[in-house]
Amino acid sequence: MAEPHNPTPGLFESFAEAISTLEKLTKMETKITAALEDSRVPWKESRKLLKCMSPDQMSNTTLFQFMQNLFFEAGIGRLEISDVGRFQLTFIIKECGVCSLYHTKEKGKVCFIISDAILKFFVKDLDLPCSVEESRCSKEGFEFCEFKTDLQPLGVYKIALDDIDRALIGDILGGRFATAGFAKDYEMDEAEVTYRLKVLESYQIVDSDNNVTEIGSTYYKFAQGLRALEEDFEPPWKGLATITSSIAAKNSFAEAMCETINPEPFIKVDSSEIVNLAEEAKKSKSFAELIAKHVKSMG
């Protein structure tokens, strides 16, 4: 858990209030723990989230709606996404269930339990190593509580691309890629192929002329190993009636994205975030080993 910038306020005005609040927090924590235990999400669903370019797109994914539902049911409040970066997601809660347990007038951050829940959901259920910090809290006088979630870049690369993306990279490397032919081979619209290329460009796997970059060829080298790591199982929301997703009704995520009237600008990877990837990769036997090293170095 990240260190708060402001000191924790004097939380309680009386002993009775302290007891009652702690009791409610304990109940909330028990609910969260139980919910997270049964919520492992297959990579194919996390991948849809990671390919989103805006809070609107991301809010529309079944996975986010599931997460929102899970947090709401635990009494935390209604989670929203306010900002999406390639490796950073910002969540906000306007009427925070944790803050409402504290009646103190003193200012400070109190929502550690939420940072911790987001962290556990990403690390344990999505298989996405990250760190989470509560950057703003209603108890500091803001209109909402805000949580910055920094995703570990290699963890994102591990999950973000699928078999078709890998085939696309392979075709480019083999000098046999053409949009029309690829679309035909994989029974998709050319617009979807173009969208996939844009996503690959946003990850700096191909450049703007659709040539594979050094990061791209490193990634490709480990592609088969990654495929072996991927488990296919039912997502935890199967049968959950409250999830309504426009994206779920489409044949593919890319198809849904292509229909966006005003396409969002693509988020680009900042190369400084992955600067040592190619070098480190040369020293590692597998992507799993590479990831393990980096996750360790994050502390």
DSSP state of 14: S
- Helix or strand (DSSP H, E) at 19: helix 15-37
Position 28: which residue type? M
For Zn ion, the closer CB: 62 or 138: 138
Min dist CB 140 to Zn ion, Å, is: 8
Q: How far apart are the first and last CA of the chain?
A: 11
Q: Kindly state whether residue 99 participates in binding Zn ion, applying the rule CB under 5 A.
A: yes
Of residues 182-241, which lie at the interface with Zn ion (CB under 5 A)? none
For Zn ion, the closer CB: 104 or 252: 104
Q: Which range, of 2-10, 134-142, 160-168, 259-267, touches Zn ion by CB under 5 A?
A: 134-142
Q: Kindly state whether residue 145 participates in binding Zn ion, applying the rule CB under 5 A.
A: yes
For Zn ion, the closer CB: 3 or 232: 3
Q: Kindly state whether residue 160 participates in binding Zn ion, applying the rule CB under 5 A.
A: no
What's the rounded Cα separation, in Å, for the pair 102 and 138?
11
Min dist CB 97 to Zn ion, Å, is: 9
Name the residue among 253, 192, 189 with its Cα closest to residue 52: 253
What's the rounded Cα separation, in Å, for the pair 144 and 134?
11
Q: Which of 53, 96, 193, 205 touches Zn ion by CB under 5 A?
A: 96
What's the rounded Cα separation, in Å, for the pair 249 and 29?
34
- Helix or strand (DSSP H, E) at 134: strand 130-136
Q: Kindly state whether residue 63 participates in binding Zn ion, applying the rule CB under 5 A.
A: no
Q: Kindly state whether residue 254 participates in binding Zn ion, applying the rule CB under 5 A.
A: no
Q: Which residues bind Zn ion (CB under 5 A)?
A: 96, 99, 111, 137-138, 145
